[in-house]
Every structure is written in structure tokens, then in C-alpha cells.
């Protein structure tokens, strides 16, 4: 596995693999979002088949109450509700015969489901 880059704010650590960082920057460029002001919103929402689901969006700027973490050239925007659920999470980007997309390795998850985007904490 490749080396991850991590960001820490208020004791909360979020990690991005180099491949995930590369893909986020590609999506930002495709949407004409400047890395200086824009970033990747990572959130946890109620729902999914296990209780919570992850959400990723490219955003032009942070909201006033966002926590902003920086992993090299990528700014990560997280809301206060999601932050505790994301402590220690590693975000990766994988490509396989079944498709490609972002994956999450979350030490806070106590269960999950086959879809890989829903978890229990």
C-alpha cells in the first residue's frame, strides 16, 4: 500500500492516499474549482443499510462552521457532526474490473455492509 498523507485538527486525523489525492485534484480541475479556496467535503450522513453513509463532494469554498483539514494540496471540509465519525479514516481511490471509486477504511466502524459505503459506529 502506498504512503498516506494525513491532516490533524483538534486531535482528529483524516488520511488520503496519494491515489485519492490525485483523483480529488482531477475532479477539482474538471469542475474548475481552485485548490486555494475549494476542496473536498467529506461527511457522514444518517442512512445507508448499516446506519451511516459517507458523502464526498467537491466544493468551491468551506462553510462558515466547517472544520478545514489540509492534506498537501487538498483541503478537506468537514462539518461538526461528521468529524468524530471520521477520526482515523483513510480515504483511498481504487480501480478494478468491477469499477472504480473512493473507498473508506474507518477504525470507528463497528460494522458495515457489502456496498462499502455504509457503516455502523
Give residue 20's pLDDT: 95
- In this predicted structure, the answer to whether residue 115 has a pLDDT above a threshold of 50 is no
Q: Which pTM value belongs to this model?
A: 0.81
Spatial separation of the C-alpha atoms in residues 95 and 114, rounded to whole Å: 17
Q: What structural domains and CATH numbers belong to the chain?
A: 5-120 (2.60.300.12)
Give residue 9's pLDDT: 67
- DSSP letter for each residue of 9-37: ETTEEEEE-HHHHHHHHHHHHHTT--TTT
Q: Give the distance, in angstroms, between the CA of residue 22 and the centroid of all CA atoms in the same chain.
A: 13
Amino acid at each position: 500500500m502506498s504512503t498516506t498523507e494525513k491532516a490533524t485538527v483538534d486531535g482528529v486525523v483524516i488520511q488520503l492516499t496519494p491515489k485519492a489525492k490525485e483523483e480529488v485534484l482531477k475532479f477539482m480541475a474538471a469542475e474548475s474549482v481552485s485548490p486555494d479556496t475549494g476542496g473536498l467535503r467529506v461527511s457522514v450522513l444518517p442512512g445507508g443499510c448499516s446506519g451511516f453513509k459517507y458523502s464526498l463532494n467537491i466544493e468551491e469554498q468551506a462553510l462558515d462552521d466547517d472544520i478545514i483539514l489540509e492534506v498537501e494540496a487538498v483541503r478537506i471540509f468537514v462539518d461538526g457532526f461528521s468529524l468524530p465519525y471520521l477520526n482515523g479514516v483513510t480515504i483511498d481511490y481504487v480501480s478494478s474490473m468491477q469499477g472504480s471509486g473512493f473507498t473508506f477504511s474507518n477504525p470507528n466502524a463497528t460494522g458495515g455492509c457489502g456496498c462499502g459505503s455504509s457503516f455502523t459506529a
